[in-house]
Each structure stands twice: as C-alpha cells, then as structure tokens.
Chain A
Amino acid sequence: MATPLPLSGVRVVDLSWIIAGPTCTRVLADFGAQVIKVESQQVRDTIRNSAPFADGQQGINRSGFFNNVNRGKLGVALNLGHPKGLDLLRRLIAISDVLVENFSSRILEDRWGLTYETLRELRPDIIYCSLSGFGHSGPFRDATTWGPTAQAVSGLTLMSGLPGQEPAGWGFSYMDNTAGYQGAIAVLAALHYRRRTGKGQWIDLSQSEGGIAMTGTAILDYTVNGRSFRRAGNPPGNHADNPKIAPHNTYRCAGEVVIADGRKDGRWCAIACFSEQQWQALCRVAGRDDLARDPRFATNAARLQNQDALDAAIEQWTRQHDPYRAMETLQRAGVPAGVVQNAEDKVERDAQLRDRGFFLEAEHQEVGKRLFEGISVRLTKTPGRIWRGAPLLGGDTDFVLREVLGLSDAEMEQLAEEEVTAT
C-alpha cells in the first residue's frame, strides 16, 4: 500500500517562474500537495527555454532543467489577458490554500489586479507567499534581480574566493535554491498556524535578506566587534573560517575527469582535522610520522602559522591517490575527508547516494523516463514521491478545469473557442 502523502489536501496555485519559486513549490509537490502551475501559451516559464534539452532537441517541453524543478506539478495554460482567463485564475485561487509567486514587487497587482487584499477576498484564509529580490516594501522594492544579484548584494559572493584574488562567488544561483527552501519553511509554518487557527497570511520573502541571513556570523562580527568581512586574508579560500583549524583545505589527488566542452578537471579531496588525534592519524596513514614530529606542525597554532608548508606536505600524499581512495583511507583512520564531487560523480560514483537510492526515475509525457534529484530529507512514514515529470505547457488544463473547477463540456468548448485555454 502506498504511504500517505503528508501534504495531501493542500492545493497550491503556482505563478512562480525560473528557480526560486518553483523550488519552493517543488518541495510542496514532492510531499503530496496539488501544485497547479499556471502559465499561458504566450507567457511561459522561461526555464522551458533553458538548456539542457532532452536528446539535444529544443522544445518548450524538453528542458531538463525545467523538468527537474517542476516535476510532480500540474500544468495549466490560461490566457490571462482575457477576462475569462483571469476569472478562471481567480476561481482557482478561491479553492486553493497557498499561492506562490516570484515576480518583482507590484507585477501581480499591475498585471492582474492581485494583491494580498484581493486574494483574501477570493479566499479569506489564503497563504500568499511572494518571493522577490528585495521584498515588497522599502525603497528598492522595484529592483530587478536574479539569484546572482542577491548573492552579490548580500555578501555571499564576496565570501567565496581565494585571498588576494577577485571573488569566485557561487557557480550557480545558490540563493534561488535557498530562497525556495526558506519560502517552503515559511509556508509550512503558516500552514500549521492555519490548521490551528483558521487564519492565513502573507509571507514577504526577500532574497537579498535571505542571503544576508546566510552570511553566518559576519554581521555580528561587525556589529559587535566592528570588523568587516572585507579585510586582508578574506575570503579564506578553503582554509578554515571558524573554528580556526589546520589542516583544512582541498588537496589535489591523482587523476582527471572529463567535463563540459571535453575539458579535463582535476581531482580533489577535502580534509579537515578538528583534533590532534585526527592530525596524527592523517600523518600515520600518509606514512609521514615525521610531519607529526615536525615542530612547524606540532600544535594547531603552529600548523595555522605554517599552513602553506602543511598543505604542500599533505598534497604530496594525496597526489598519489585517487580521491575516493584518499577519502576512504582517511575516514577509516577517523579523519574527516570527502571528495570534491561533481554531478557525474554523484550519479555514477557516490556509493552512499546509490545505496540510498537518491536519484529517482519518473516519466515525463514528452521526453519519457528520466532521472531526477531525489527528495533530500527522508520521512520514515511519509516519504513523499515523484509521481511524474514536469507538466507539458498546458498539459493539465483540461484535467484542472474539469475535475478541479468542475467545468462542463460546453464551458470547455466555449473557452477554447474564445482562445482562453488555447490559441
């Protein structure tokens, strides 16, 4: 028997696009909420046009990027420029629990006259979650932003890099993933409150504030100690931030791996020693008891002082080994270590993800059976599921309008004729 779905009975109108909002609703869909993604034939989620495409063929239903983040949602296409299309959206909102959108502030109101107040008239206990770059109030509310904007302004970009080099930043929109999680947490908390009290609410998530919330102790170090993160020696690369320990770095290993564009990437193993015991175990497995006795490395303070020499000595050993072999050897000796894994490593070489069946297969209506990132937390009694890939553009319009809104054949024909549901 199938396990119960913990969010069954929760209906979500999803007007969100790109990654942040769709990540939030992906969490809800994976655990059983009915997520209705509303687009139109003319105005679609632009990630539908983003590579990679299935079998190298472009198409609005063929983006693997879109498929991964929108699996398990229903797809409705409505012409929202038509009064009847807008009316159908309002009727969907009236029977839904949650509305998620990630437009810039004011777009929902300017385009469709939807504000929290008007949403409440449609559905008094609605939970409305807006995810935007700067939130819906304040002088920068109308700023145009993407994930990298929020990362730059919040400080996350500056906090990633080698000392003395320009910032490396994040190689992807970390704050899109993260704002999706932060939004899902707020929506889930609001749902609990609503179950207790019957009251909905508006959640105004600002991606740049969400980014500042991710900067760890950097703000307190400034407000308490007057010390800016922008100072010599920062960012610390892969050296320890806090606690200050050494060794703590990524070390080049033997071998290479082929990546994009036929390039070769190096192999690396991350190592972090939190105690003298771990440091001595590292020296032992590396066959370098001389390092353990070397006064330059005798204490953590000394190792921090002589970090370049320390790293070079460790790398002499790691360079002789495959990164997985280095990791296994160190872990067996009780030393924290891990391979710098790319996407291929996770899918093909990661024994843990394989054993736990992390990557899941599901069927997409146009591109067939595909792999998906799994559900990143295991609920032992209600694990959730990926029942299907992402929706085709408007692929579930018929189902949603008939089965969810209860429209008749005659009404459906009329809508098609007036180009509300199709063009």
Chain B
Amino acid sequence: MSASQPPPPLALDDLVVLDLTDEKGQYMGKLMGDLGATVIKVEPPGGDPARRIGPFAGDVEAPERSLYWWHYNTSKLGVTLDITKSEGQALLKRLVARADVVLESFQPGYLDGLGLGYEALSASNPRLIMTSLTAYGQTGPYKDHLTSDLIALAMGGPMASSGYSDEEVPGAPPIRGTGNQGYHTGSHWGLIGTLVALAHRDATGEGQHVDASLHEALACTTEAATPHYFYLKRAPMRQTGRHHAQTVTPRTQWPSRDGRYVCAFNVPRNVACWNSLTEWMAEHGMGEELREDPKYRQAFLTGARATPEIDAVWRGMGELISKLTAEEAYQGAQRRGYPWGAVRSPDENVRDPHFQERGFFVEVEHPELGRRYTYPNAPAVMHGTRYGIRHRAPLTGEHNEQVFSKLLGLTVQEMTHLRQQRVI
C-alpha cells in the first residue's frame, strides 16, 4: 500500500459516542468503534470494573491486563470521570453536548437520580440518541431485578432449549453456552436500536431514548421454540448436541478417532450422496450390509425418519466417523457436499488457512507492552467501509488529556483541579 493512498472510509466516523456501559453493553461500543465512530469509554476514576474480569495476560491480575477489557473495548478512547460528583456531572454534560450517542447500562433510574437521565441530557441536545441496555428494560415489574449473563440466558429462553437428552444424561440441567452470549445478544439489539434511531435522526434531526434489554433480546433468540409454543402449545425438549424438538430425533454428534466430536447431519438425500457416503464407508472397510440390502438405500433416498433402516444408516455414519479424526471427517464431508463441521475449540481456527486467507485474525499493537497480539476481527467484511479493530482498548485515563483539554478546551489549571478533586 502506497503512503499516498487515503485511509479506508469508515461507516460511522461522523459520530461521537459516549460509552458509560458496564460488561453488559461494552460490546455495543466496541462494534461502533470498529465501525469507525469516535467512542469515548467513560470509566470511574481507578478504572472500570470490567478491568477486574479475567482471563488476564500472563495470568497477572491487573487493570491493564484484563483480556475481557481488551476484547470488549477495542477502537475506543478512554477517559476517567466520576459522574457521582457534581463537577463530573457538569463535565459529562459538556461531553454530551458534543455527542451523538450515549450508551449506558445502569439500573433503570440511576442516571435520572444523578440528573443525567435522557430527559436531562436531551434537553440541551435534542439530536441525542441515548441507548439504555438493562436486564429487563426501563419499565415493568422486573425492571429492578439484578441479572448476569447466566441469568439472562435462563430467563430469555436459550437455556431451556440447550443441554442433554434426558435418556443420555438423566437429570442434567439446561445448559448455557459460555462466552457471554447473553451480553452479546443484548448488545446486538442495543446496537440495532441505536442504528435505527440514527436513521430516524438522519431523516428528521430528532434523537430519542432507546430502551434495550437482555431479556427481550434473548426472548426472540431461540429460533423455533416460541413458534412451537404458539402453534403446538408445547415447548420443545432438549437433546444432546442437536436441535430442540417435539419428538426425539436421531443423534447428529459423533465421537471421532481422536477423542473429539463431529457435527454430522443433513446429508443430502440424493443418489450422489448415498453413493459417496457408502463408498467412504467402504474405504474404511465398513457398510457392507448398507450397500447390499436395497432397503437402506431406499430409506435414505425417500427421506425416511425414525425407521430401523435409516437408524442403521446413521449408526453406520457414526461408525465411519469413529475411524476418522474430526478434521478428516469434516474436510472429507465437505468435499462430498455434506454440511458437517468439526467441533473445534475457538483457538483451533487461528491457523486455519481459510480464515487466514480472509484475514479474519488481525494483529493489534500494544505499544505499552512492545507487543502485538492476534485478535478476532469483525463478523462481516464490509467492502466499502472498513469494519474492524482500529486500535487496542484504552489504558485507564489514557485519553483524558486529548478529550478534556483538546476537545473540551479545559485549561491546565482546571485539569489539575479536577485531578486533585479525584473527578478525573
């Protein structure tokens, strides 16, 4: 790339966003920063509580070493500001006057109590979009309930669909997938609301308050479970490693030779796939009966479900997988046109040639450590505007000078005073 080439355009680089969120909503601000907005993460003096969430770089617990903080705060600037003090509130209001969007995730009413609610902030900036991402929303009988990622995934419904078949692990509880999916889903919806509000503002100049909740975000993130109840009046049952269902469906998760698992399902029910599957079995000295007795082929081709013949086909498939490594099964199935996947650990993708070629994993500079680390980038490649990490998460108060003196024009004396008062 030549030095004269202009930097790639950014979709949201006309926006200033104040991010007051805790761990529930920091992903919203990260995505806005990765989309190009100037996102100012506002932390209490001493640092955001999310800096205490692990894992930590080198397993050293320290505010600048939280990988949780690193991951969820890329492409943001960082300031410290005590919004419980009146001078801090005045300063926040001066920032809000220059902001397009405020993101927050306090308990409903908390900011109102500080004189920093939507009514107060929008009075002087009617274009302001304020997005509140809470557990249950700004109204309703549960609005003051406390939550967590686990509790949100429980109440919202994903857990009731996920776990083990009763026959296989009797008494197992419903299971939540780890990785902060409750917070991710809440943040996705909070961001959708913010960007839709932006469309309205672009058209009319009018801002608004966006009331997002983990609960409602997750309540529609269960695929067919709610239609099952709407139409059949029965919630689906959980099944090991596969979809919830009204009746027991065949296993789709099979152990491989290397002690891993393969998600093996939806083999297209056509002649080519029957032939390729049974030939693949033959290569491993298996499946003679399936090839010789036409009833199996017929069951496969007619789309039979839950018959002894088709069950035998699936068992044969499982036996085939037991002779292969998970990667052999995955690559071999994909070559044959079956939608199988190896059950990988996330990190097993870092060196995958496909993701390498697409540049999904990116190196991010940590100048304070003199190191670069590999991060996962944005979920989509946008060809017209860059979508991805622009720089690492801020150190505590790293941009106080830039934001308070340069942007707001505070004098050296004012800055010193605010530091002494522990406002910043």
Bind each other: yes
Task: Flag B125-149 by CB within 8 Å of A: 1 or 0 each.
Answer: 0000000000011111111111110
Interchain Cβ contacts under 8 Å between A and B, 5 examples:
A52-B232, A167-B241, A220-B70, A340-B159, A378-B137
Q: Are the C-beta atoms of B384 and A268 separated by less than 8 Å?
A: no
A171→B334 contact, CB < 8 A: no
Residues of chain A with a CB closer than 8 A to B229's CB = 342-344, 346-347
Bound complex: CA A176 to CA B143 (Å): 29
Decide if B200 is an interface residue (CB 8 Å cutoff): yes
Cα–Cα distance between A64 and B229 once the two chains are bound (Å): 10
Q: Is the CB of B189 within 8 A of A172?
A: no
List the B side residues contacting A168 at CB < 8 Å.
162-164, 172, 175, 240-241
Q: Contact mask A188-229 → B, CB, 8 Å, 1/0?
A: 111111011101111111101110111111111111110111
Q: Most chain-B Cβ atoms within 10 A of its Cβ — which of A68, A155, A215, A240?
A: A215
Complex contacts, B77 vs chain A, CB 8 Å: none
Given the interface pairs A201-B384, A339-B154, the reply to whether A347 lies near B230 with Cβ below 8 Å is yes
Which residue of chain A has its CB nearest to the CB of B14? A196
Q: Is the CB of B345 within 8 A of A229?
A: yes
CB-contact partner of A382 in B138, B143, B208, under 8 A: B208
A149 and B243 contact, Cβ closer than 8 Å, known pairs A165-B169, A178-B185, A342-B225: no
B contact face: mostly helix, strand, loop, or mixed:
mixed
Instruction: Please state if B357 and A214 are interface contacts (CB–CB under 8 Å).
Output: no
B62 interface residue (CB < 8 Å to A): no
Q: Mark B163-203, 1 if CB is under 8 A from A, else 0.
A: 11010010111111111110011001111110111111011
Kindly identify, within residues 316 to 344 of chain B, every residue whose CB is under 8 Å from any CB belonging to chain A. Answer: 330, 334, 337-344
Q: Taking each of B14, B177, B229, which has the highest tally of chain A beta carbons within 10 Å of its own beta carbon?
A: B177
Q: Which residue of B lies closest to A135 (CB)?
A: B358
Interface residue B375 (Cβ < 8 Å from any Cβ of A): yes
Is A60 close to B, CB under 8 A?
no
Residues of B within 8 A of A196 (CB): 14
B110 within 8 Å of A by Cβ?
no
CA–CA, A327 and B161, complex, Å: 20
B231/A260 in contact, CB under 8 A:
no
Closest 7 CB pairs of A and B: A201-B384, A155-B346, A152-B341, A222-B347, A377-B193, A171-B161, A160-B177
User: A134 CA to B180 CA in the complex, in Å?
Assistant: 23
| A395 close to B (CB within 8 Å) | no
Q: How far is the CA of A221 from the CA of B175 in the complex (A)?
A: 23
Total number of B residues with any Cβ neighbor in A under 8 Å: 160
Interface residues on A, range: 35 or more
Assess whether A186 is in contact with B387, with CB atoms less than 8 Å apart: yes
Number of A-B contacts (CB under 8 A): 561
A219 and B350 form a contact (CB under 8 A): yes
B358 touches A138 (CB 8 A): yes
- Residue in B146, B216, B228, B230 whose beta carbon sits within 8 Å of that of A376 in the complex: B216
- Are B189 and A377 in contact (CB-based, < 8 A)? yes
Q: Mark A334-368, 1 if CB is under 8 A from B, else 0.
A: 11111111111111001111011010000000000
Q: Is B215 in contact with A161, judged by CB distance below 8 angstroms? A: no
Stretch at the interface among A75-83, A241-249, A287-295, A296-304: A241-249
B419 to chain A, nearest CB (A): 30
In the complex, A54 has a CB within 8 A of chain B: yes
Contact of A377 with B190 in the complex, beta carbons under 8 Å: yes
Which B residues are CB-close (under 8 A) to A263?
166, 237
* A238 near B375: Cβ-Cβ < 8 Å: no
Other than the given A248-B148, A270-B155, A355-B141, 4 more pairs (CB < 8 A) read A202-B382, A374-B220, A379-B197, A379-B200
Q: In the docked arrangement, what's the CA distance between A237 and B232, Å?
A: 30
With beta carbons under 8 angstroms apart, the residue of A64, A143, A179 that contacts B231 is A64
Please tell me if the beta carbons of A134 and B228 are within 8 angstroms of each other in the complex.
Answer: no
Does A387 count as interface, using CB distance less than 8 angstroms? no
Report which of B174, B179, B243 forms a contact with A218, defined as CB distance below 8 A. Answer: B179
* Contact with A154, one of B191, B349, B373 (Cβ below 8 angstroms): B349
A250–B173 Cα distance when bound, in Å, is 7
B31 nearest in chain A by CB position: A185
B348 and A166 within 8 A (CB): no
Which residues of chain A have C-beta atoms less than 8 A from B265's C-beta? Answer: 146, 148
Q: Which residue from chain A places its CB closest to the CB of B198 in the assembled complex?
A: A192
* Contact (Cβ within 8 A) A336 B208: no
Contact of A172 with B223 in the complex, beta carbons under 8 Å: yes
Q: How far is the CA of A323 from the CA of B164 in the complex (A)?
A: 21
Instruction: Give chain A nearest CB distance to B23 CB in angstroms.
Output: 9
Query: Are B142 and A352 interface neighbours, CB within 8 A?
Result: yes
CB distance from A92 to the nearest CB of B (A): 22
With A139-B353, A152-B341, A159-B177 known as contacts, the answer to whether A203 contacts B380 (CB < 8 A) is yes
Asked if A115 is at the interface (CB within 8 A of a chain B CB), the reply is: no
B382 close to A188 (CB less than 8 A): no
B338 & A144 in contact (Cβ 8 Å cutoff): yes
Answer whether residue A124 sits at the interface, using C-beta atoms and an 8 A cutoff. no
Is B158's CB under 8 angstroms from A174's CB?
A: yes
Q: B298 interface residue, CB < 8 Å from A?
A: no
Residue B121 CB within 8 A of the other chain: no
Q: How far is the CB of B405 from chain A (nearest CB, A)?
A: 29
Given the known A-B contacts A224-B373, A338-B152, are A190 and B158 also in contact in the complex, defined by CB atoms under 8 Å? no
Do A378 and B338 form a contact, CB below 8 Å, given A138-B357, A171-B163, A188-B195? no
A202 vs B233: C-alpha distance when bound (angstroms): 42
Q: B243 to A172, Cβ gap below 8 A?
A: yes
Partner of A260, one of B138, B154, B246, B346: B246
Cβ–Cβ contact A160 & B380, under 8 A: no
State whether A212 and B376 are in contact (beta carbons under 8 Å apart), knowing that A172-B223, A202-B384 are contacts in the complex.
yes
Q: Are A212 and B360 in contact (CB under 8 A)?
A: yes
Residues of B within 8 A of A213 (CB): 376-379
Q: Does A85 have its Cβ within 8 Å of any Cβ on chain B?
A: no
Complex formed: what's the CA distance from A405 to B375 in Å? 46
